[in-house]
Chains A and B, each alone.
Chain A
Amino acid sequence: MHNFEFVKPSTVEEAVAALQSDEAQPMSGGQTLLPTMKQRLAAPEKLVSLTGIASMQGVSAVGGVLTIGGATTHATVATEAAAHYPGLAGLAAHIGDPAVRNRGTIGGSLANNDPAACYPSAALGSGATIVTNAREIAADDYFQGMFTTALEEGEIVTGVRFPIPQASNYQKFEQPASRFALTGVFVAKYADGVRVAVTGASEEGVFRWTEAEAALSANFSPDAIEGLSVSADGMIGDLHGTPAYRAHLIKVLTKRAVAAAS
């Protein structure tokens, strides 16, 4: 790994200032970035740790909205969101493994937008709002393709606001070696309709399965999507699964998620 300067600011303002220099990179839990740096696929000259910023920590629920600080770990979300938003807590409780969950953060996951990460499906499936140091971004506008988001250079995810649904569930089919989602589906039922977000499957990254949303909004039961199918066009194909296999999984997992949520 190439060497770098490590800085650990205690406020968002200090972090934003530290990120102004060229080749500076923010890091939260580092569970993706650090291995990436070992492989020399990333080589920042300055690494700005976000884990010392108190205002980016914690989970709170007020008025039907769950707010999570950007540097909150998966383990903390799994515990502290459980009473408010069990579907989201359940997702967080099964990311990676216990050691990874003690370091990895929601803001880091959303900023990276790995096509097989779990959290993007929850954010998109909840119609969440991504809060940065500069603005607020609707999830529908935030995710812009594999490893691509609306974030500008040096912009930090300081928090995420999730409208709390009436019912929700996340189902993933794990890639047997990496345990990332080969395909994962997040379903959330709100008073004004159902949202279905799919991760792991598309070459465009996380996306909404709008036909299923319409069917489930009319009838929230697994049978409601029996007649639907997902096209294999644009799905990821690799040695772990063909595009057709992933397309099939989307429907299977959506039905399981609806069954588990109802």
Chain B
Amino acid sequence: MSKISMTVNGKSVSGEVEGRTLLVEFLREDLKLTGTHVGCDTSQCGACTVHVDGKQVKSCTMFAAEADGAEVKTIEGEANADGSLSVVQQAFQDYHGLQCGFCTPGMVMAATALLGKNPKPTELEIREHLEGNICRCTGYHNIVKAIMAASGQDVPAVAAE
């Protein structure tokens, strides 16, 4: 076991972890931040997406010890300080960007990472950015609409609708 410390959603945290402890296990089981989901555990689905030092990563494919000293943001850190939904979260609600909701934490974290570096993405750029986030309800059209809306752009009539 080794001691690790990091900042999670603006708070300093520390804990004892094994080498093999995944970042997502540390978040969910030690810190009880269960908003980050484990969908596949094989790096495919993106439900476990969080930000580490501002970059989206799959927290099932990173050891907790690798995030020692890092700034981590999870879905629990996404809402505004007063508890109201963030622009991206609100857009997901407004545009019905979720069905069962299991993939949603990862989708929202992927979307905020995209908008952080590309504030006005095209529909194609959004779809390409979501390559590593799988919605098993296949609700992609409304997720794309939500991200278009969250970026302040007109929401197009999405193809194949």
Instruction: List A residues at the B interface (Cβ < 8 Å).
Output: 1-6, 8, 30-31, 34-35, 37-38, 47, 49, 51, 75, 96-100, 102-103, 179
Contact = CB atoms under 8 A, between A and B. Distances in A.
Given A6-B19, A8-B65, A35 B43 contact: yes
20 contacts: A1-B20, A3-B20, A6-B19, A8-B66, A8-B68, A30-B62, A30-B66, A38-B41, A96-B131, A97-B131, A97-B133, A98-B56, A98-B114, A98-B131, A99-B110, A100-B61, A102-B56, A103-B57, A103-B62, A179-B131
A254 B123 CA distance: 29
Contacts of B140: none
Nearest to A93: B128
Given A4-B19, A4-B20, A38-B42, A98 B113 contact: yes
A1 B129 CA distance: 30
A3 B131 CA distance: 31
B57 A102 contact: yes
Nearest to A75: B55
Nearest 4 A/B pairs, CB to CB: A97-B132, A6-B19, A97-B131, A102-B55
Contacts of B20: 1-4, 37
A99 B56 contact: yes
Contacts of A96: 131-132
The size class of the interface chain B forms with chain A is 20 to 34
Contacts of A99: 46, 49, 56-58, 61, 110, 132
A75 B63 CA distance: 20
Contact of A30 (B2, B19, B46, B61): B61
B18 interface: yes
Contacts of A35: 42-43, 61
B63 A34 contact: yes
B18 A3 contact: yes
Contact of A34 (B18, B62, B133): B62
Contacts of A97: 46, 131-133
Given A6-B19, A30-B66, A103 B132 contact: no
B81 to A, nearest CB: 27
Interface string B111-148: 00110000000000000010111000000000000000
Interface string B29-46: 000000000000111001
A8 B69 CA distance: 12
A74 B50 CA distance: 18
Contacts of B57: 99, 102-103
Given A99-B110, A103-B57, A30 B132 contact: no
Given A6-B2, A98-B110, A99-B58, A47 B131 contact: no
Interface in B4-58: 18-20, 41-43, 46, 49, 55-58
